[in-house]
Amino acid sequence: MKATQQLHDLGQSLWLDNITRELLDSGTLKRYIDELSVTGLTSNPTIFDEAISRSNSYDNEIRRLMGSGLSGENAFFELAIEDLRRAADLFAPIHQRTSAVDGWVSLEVSPLLAYDAKTTVEVAKALHQKAARPNLFIKIPGTPEGRVAIEEAIFAGVSVNVTLLFSREHYQGAAEAYMRGLERRVEAGLSPDIRSVASLFVSRWDKATLDKVPTDLRDKLGPAIGQRAYKAYRDVLDSDRWQRLENLGARPQRLLFASTGTKDPKASDVLYIGALAAPNTVNTMPEKTLLAFGQHGSIAKPIPRDGGDCEQVLSEFTKAGIDLIKLAADLQSEGAKSFDESWQDLLKSIDTKSKALR
């Protein structure tokens, strides 16, 4: 049995962190669903930038949009929504079979709105309505301002993928915003069955500390952060507050392990997959990592309910001079800035392509 199937059978969803028109047109995404147990996917500005700038698959569509007078962000969302609708339709049978637990695709609001809660909610509602697919998540950053938007979007009935989470505390903030949104729906007489995932970024922790810690601690910080967040996730699900919501019809906001491609060339290319195997969670992985795990991956054992030895490992990093709280804040800030830059690059790519096609 393939390692991907074993992970799926354990109860962890494997999502692809990629989407291109070639993946759809060639049937490759369908093959990943059939052969590698892929049950969803995520996207971001960098992925779309590379997809649009490095191929001619979007040229005809860009010409059509130019003829309609669309450019910039408006043109991008037309292109992205077309791809994500097609992907959502491929995953629709999984979405139906799992009663909406799985089979999701994700579209990100403009990263430039990371600190503008009001506009984020307005855009999230508009994109969700425009896409017109029940298995589409709108990605909203889990910044302090973003939490306000997350609560409002959930209250408005928009399914949300909370992105840019880097620590247990970030995850807890996202879970709090999710539950507040659901509680407000209950108070308003609305169904609390609005789905969400909370995306914890993992590999950037190790990339940031690679040359700052002893050799025996290399590549151990990301897994430990993930395991600590998993314990917090299980604590939320066991809480009286959550169980009350669940009794009223709510479903868990699943913890999603993101940024799981290995950054250290000396480490295993599937480092974060086996280390973060856990039931009722998601691991969204780059295409290269997915293929590698399918070829030579293995699962030793799932994350223990209590996070295993994560606190001991994290204390070793503290002793080595790593300020975990500060680093989490820095990584989130840098992540937001990186997404901003990717967004600007994406819009430039569309503009350059448009001028070339004229």
C-alpha to C-alpha distances, 215 to 2, 52, 54, 324, nearest whole angstrom? 32, 40, 38, 18
How far, in Å, CA of 309 to CA of 227, rounded? 9
Contact 311, 231 (CB under 8 A): no
Is 139 marked active-site?
yes
Would you say 18 and 41 are in contact if contact means Cβ atoms under 8 Å apart?
A: yes
State how far the Cα of 221 lies from the Cα of 230, in Å rounded to an integer. 14
DSSP letter for each residue of 242-281: HHHHHHTT----EEEEE--S---TTS-TTHHHHTT--TTE
| Catalytically annotated residue among 2, 139, 337, 348 | 139
- Please give the structure tokens belonging to residue 112: 């430039």
Alpha-helix runs per DSSP H in 36-71: 45-53, 59-67
Residue 207, SS3 per DSSP:
helix
What are the structure tokens assigned to 117, written together?
């809660």
**DSSP type of residue 309:** T
Strand arrangement, sheet containing 12-16: 38-41, 12-16, 281-285, 254-258, 196-201, 160-165, 136-141, 105-108
Element (H, E) at 177: helix 168-187
Task: Show Cβ contacts of residue 34 under 8 Å, excluding neighbours closer than 6 positions.
Answer: none
Show which residues are catalytic: 139
